[in-house]
Amino acid sequence: MIILDIETRPREDLVERYIKPLEAFNPDAVKYGNTKDAGKRAALLDSKKAEHDDASALHLTKAKAKAALDPLTAEIVVIGVNGSESSPCEGEFFFEGTEEEILTEFWDLWRSGESTKDEMISWSGNASSDCFDPMMILRRSWMLDIKTPSQVVNGRYLGNRWVDASSRYLVGKYGSYCSLTRAADELGLFLGTDELRLSRKSDNDIVTGKDFHLWYDGKVPNLNDSHASTAEHQRALALSYLSNDLRLLQGIVDRIY
């Protein structure tokens, strides 16, 4: 089996291309009721236009905030994998470089495990079939015209080699969600010797999934810590965050499979 985790970055140029703005404000659609007073009608018109402008700005803000989660508006920054002894890639390593290079190397790995049908195990946190990592890898590959093996999709379903460990952990309870840290905590993975190599994730972490790409790109400004002041150090911290996620998932998988 191969443990899999990806990190993405938002692309503002793709947001502008694929996210449709709200329709332009239409003053003729404003309803004044029985109000005849010109001043009151003008004030109502201004109020409705301001509401529309606020809604338009919020629409774009939300789109940008979620851009890293949509293959139409994001790109893959790095893919982390951890292979078992029987896999073509024993141990932990990262696919890095351009997105085309990352995805090409990933599919090379996939093909190298076709004879043994190595499973690619990721964690969406959901009990449904909403598998973020495979969806992002597949659709970004197709959008970049990178050829994918035929077995990766079976009709309208993912191929059998894609495995979402969270769906197994939650025993298919539809609508439920569980983070990596919560699952690891429930399984007692932070107790004993494992605590030396596994870190809980919290809102106070210096690197988070949301800003991973900024750390990886070395673009986090105004840092007082000299150990994280250079782009090289920031990237190292980002990869350490990803490495911890891989180890968390590996620990969970070792318990439930």
What is the C-alpha to C-alpha distance for residues 25 and 242, in angstroms, rounded to an integer? 44
Provide the pairing of β-strand 74-83 with 2-10. antiparallel
Q: What is the reported pLDDT for 195?
A: 47
Please give the single-letter amino acid code of residue 194: D
User: What stretches in the chain show pLDDT beneath 70?
Assistant: 86-88, 129-130, 192-197, 203-204, 222-227
CB-based burial label for 164 (10 Å; 0-12, 13-18, 19+): buried
Asked, for residue 76, whether it belongs to a domain, the answer is: yes
Note whether 191 and 139 are within 8 A (CB): no
Please give the single-letter amino acid code of residue 53: D
Q: What is the reported pLDDT for 196?
A: 47
Asked, for residue 98, whether it belongs to a domain, the answer is: yes
Instruction: Give the CATH number, domain containing residue 206.
Output: 3.30.420.10
Asked, for residue 133, whether it belongs to a domain, the answer is: yes
Render pLDDT for 183-237 as a digit per residue (tens, 0 to 9): 999 998 887 654 446 777 776 678 988 899 999 999 988 666 656 778 898 999 9
Asked, for residue 44, whether it belongs to a domain, the answer is: no
Q: What is the reported pLDDT for 180?
A: 93
Q: What is the reported pLDDT for 255?
A: 94
Q: Which domain holds residue 236?
A: 2-12+69-256
CA 229, 230, 233, 235: dihedral to nearest 10 degrees? 110
Asked, for residue 113, whether it belongs to a domain, the answer is: yes
Asked, for residue 75, whether it belongs to a domain, the answer is: yes
Asked, for residue 104, whether it belongs to a domain, the answer is: yes
Instruction: Give the pTM.
Output: 0.83
Q: What is the reported pLDDT for 226?
A: 59
Q: What is the reported pLDDT for 2?
A: 93
Q: What is the reported pLDDT for 227?
A: 61
Count up the domains in the chain and report the number.
Answer: 1
CA angle (78 as vertex; 72, 80 as ends), nearest 5 = 125
Note whether 30 and 113 are within 8 A (CB): no
Asked, for residue 118, whether it belongs to a domain, the answer is: yes
Q: Could you tell me the sign of the dihedral formed by the alpha carbons of 21, 26, 32, 37, in that order?
A: positive
